[in-house]
Structure 1
Amino acid sequence: MATFALIHGGGGSARDWRLVETELRRMGHDTVAVDLPIEDPSAGLGDYADSVVKAVGDRTDLVVVAHSWGGFVAPLVCDRVKADLLVLVTAMIPAPGEPPGDWWANTGFQGPDTSDEVAVFLHDVPPDLAAEMLGGGREHAEKALLEPWPLDGWPDVPTRFLLCRDDRFFPPAFMREVVRERLGVTPDEIDGGHAPMLARPAELASRLAGYAGQRTGRS
């Protein structure tokens, strides 16, 4: 069985993963979901990664999973601990020296109008969960958005990318190109929008468990 370290996206929290955690634990896996210190104005990217490393502790058979903005943090975690696999779920892929705030222009991102957050991010999430997620949103302090991503290259860990076909924030065609350019791989795909951990927790957990069972080589 595997230990899944689950990293939320921008403005999110560990609670975003609770439905997926239930499914993974039902399958016999261990899970660790972490609240990144995104509201702390003194916390940088390294501090975010350290919060995950501390929560993981001495657990082994580690699969690091990141959603959306969490893609900036997960590779840093894999650089600090022995991970068997890194899974990016409709996540941002950093480049060496790139501040997260520059990612949008550097990738050519042309995003939608996000004034209706439900329509863009949560259109397929049950209304009660969508309302809860919006009500629990957290502000993101600037430091970690402005500092250069610190690694010289991608960590030496097998990596999978799971793209959401109905994502209205990161359109599939755009993300396929970003994944090809930045990771040199073809992404896997799943139905649903930008928050599959809330809209399709059982299906996402099944995908993650399947990846954990294939931890024998680089994707």
Structure 2
Amino acid sequence: MTSATAARPTFVLVHGSGGSSYMWAPVQRELALLGHRSLAVDLPGHGPDAQYPLAYQAPQDLDALAVEPSTLAGVTLRDNADMVADTVRRVAEHGPVVLVGTSLGGMTTTVVGNEIPGLIDRTVSISAWSCVRRGNPIEYMAVPECADSLFAGLVAFNVGDPSVLGVGRSNYRTADPDLLATLKAATMAEATDAQFMALVNILQPDESMAVIGGDGRGHADTWGTIPRSYIRLTNDRSIPLALQDLLIAEADELTPDNPYDVHTLESSHAGFVLQAPKVAGILDGLAL
């Protein structure tokens, strides 16, 4: 490895709820074309380790699905952070690290920043839950800036009792056109129907309630010391723009001498993957 190559960062990419490393493929392709290394993680119980019960297949058995034990039950935010921190440690042996999180993945990247700030050269939040005053998305749902979120409408996807299963279980394989329309509006409104269904078919049904309800607050003396960037998504109806701006403002108040470097894309919550060249271009600029 040449010194010039070693000086360039590796982007460690962390997915959101129901996601996996697969969602990062378009961005990774564009980063590679710009000469960058990247590594997309699968958080515990995601990606190849995901659970897709037989009752989730077609024809579905929703009664059985409602009580099927989840392999994600009991997986905590601490488990996610430990896994990503170990990845960062290994990647840091080869040069600088830029840690990128989107959506719920922002909680994991923030906790990792609290743990090993000296090994992270920059954090990047893409419309992510980078919490400061409140610990998690559940607590932020009550703030006025969340009023325009369509997240509440997605509760109709739920199968089973989260308090019993230990997970929120969503039936993304529903054929209900109204539910699918709500999900598209909340996550990828600008996509074609074909692009949206491609997203739906890589989503996992379960997400741990211990992760969603964990404490992902950034601390001033650790996470707050890392240079950080936020990519705002103007058309996001899951984490509305006003709520993204609140998260940015709270972090900047926490560490006024180390404010966010802010970028903006006209995109829905997951629609940024359809603009992979633009996303990679922003990340490329941060690598200079």
TM-score range, shorter chain: 0.7 to 0.9
CA distance change for structure 1 residues 47 and 150 in 2, over 3 Å: closer, same or farther?
farther
Quick one: which amino acid aligns to residue 127 of structure 2? T
Note the alpha carbon deviations across 1:137-168, whole angstroms, 9 max, x for none. 22112122233337544512001111012222
Aligned length: 213
Greater Cα offset, 23-32 or 192-201: 192-201
| TM-score scaled by length of structure 1 | 0.86
Quick one: which amino acid aligns to residue 96 of structure 2? D
CA deviation after TM superposition for structure 1 residue 25, in Å: 1.2
- Return 5+ residue gaps in structure 2 as ranges: 1-7, 46-70, 155-178, 254-258
Provide the residue aligned with 1:10 in structure 2: 17
CA distance change for structure 1 residues 91 and 134 in 2, over 3 Å: closer, same or farther?
same
Provide the residue aligned with 2:249 in structure 1: 180
Provide the residue aligned with 1:122 in structure 2: 188
Matches within 5 A, 1:185-200: 185=259, 187-200=262-275
Instruction: Confirm whether residue 163 of structure 1 aligns to residue 216 of structure 2.
Output: no
CA distance change for structure 1 residues 152 and 119 in 2, over 3 Å: closer, same or farther?
closer
Whether the aligned pair in 2 keeps the contact of 1:5 and 1:63 (CA below 8 Å) is: yes
Matches within 5 A, 1:1-219: 1-37=8-44, 40-56=72-88, 57-59=90-92, 60-81=95-116, 82-95=119-132, 98-106=135-143, 108-110=145-147, 111-112=149-150, 113-114=153-154, 115=179, 116-138=182-204, 139-149=206-216, 152-153=219-220, 155=223, 156-184=225-253, 185=259, 187-213=262-288
CA distance change for structure 1 residues 107 and 16 in 2, over 3 Å: closer, same or farther?
farther
Partner Cα distance (2:215, 2:243) in 1: 23
Partner Cα distance (1:201, 1:86) in 2: 18
CA distance change for structure 1 residues 196 and 207 in 2, over 3 Å: closer, same or farther?
farther
CA distance change for structure 1 residues 149 and 78 in 2, over 3 Å: closer, same or farther?
closer
CA deviation after TM superposition for structure 1 residue 172, in Å: 2.0
Whether the aligned pair in 2 keeps the contact of 1:125 and 1:198 (CA below 8 Å) is: no
CA deviation after TM superposition for structure 1 residue 99, in Å: 4.2
Whether the aligned pair in 1 keeps the contact of 2:13 and 2:40 (CA below 8 Å) is: yes
Partner Cα distance (1:10, 1:54) in 2: 20
- Structure (1 or 2) with the larger CA radius of gyration: 2
Whether the aligned pair in 2 keeps the contact of 1:71 and 1:92 (CA below 8 Å) is: yes
CA distance change for structure 1 residues 123 and 150 in 2, over 3 Å: closer, same or farther?
closer
Partner Cα distance (2:114, 2:199) in 1: 30
Whether the aligned pair in 1 keeps the contact of 2:91 and 2:97 (CA below 8 Å) is: no
Greater Cα offset, 124-133 or 27-36: 124-133
Partner Cα distance (2:281, 2:219) in 1: 33
CA deviation after TM superposition for structure 1 residue 37, in Å: 2.0
Provide the residue aligned with 1:217 in structure 2: none
Task: Provide the alpha-carbon RMSD of the alignment.
Answer: 2.3
CA distance change for structure 1 residues 16 and 148 in 2, over 3 Å: closer, same or farther?
same
Whether the aligned pair in 2 keeps the contact of 1:96 and 1:150 (CA below 8 Å) is: yes
- Return 5+ residue gaps in structure 1 as ranges: 214-219
| TM-score scaled by length of structure 2 | 0.67
CA deviation after TM superposition for structure 1 residue 107, in Å: 6.7
CA deviation after TM superposition for structure 1 residue 9, in Å: 1.1
CA deviation after TM superposition for structure 1 residue 42, in Å: 2.3
- Equivalent position SS for 1:105: coil
Instruction: Report which of the two has the higher share of helix.
Output: 2
- Equivalent position SS for 1:140: strand
Greater Cα offset, 16-25 or 111-120: 111-120
- Equivalent position SS for 1:137: coil
Identity of counterpart residues, as a percentage?
A: 23
Quick one: which amino acid aligns to residue 144 of structure 1? V
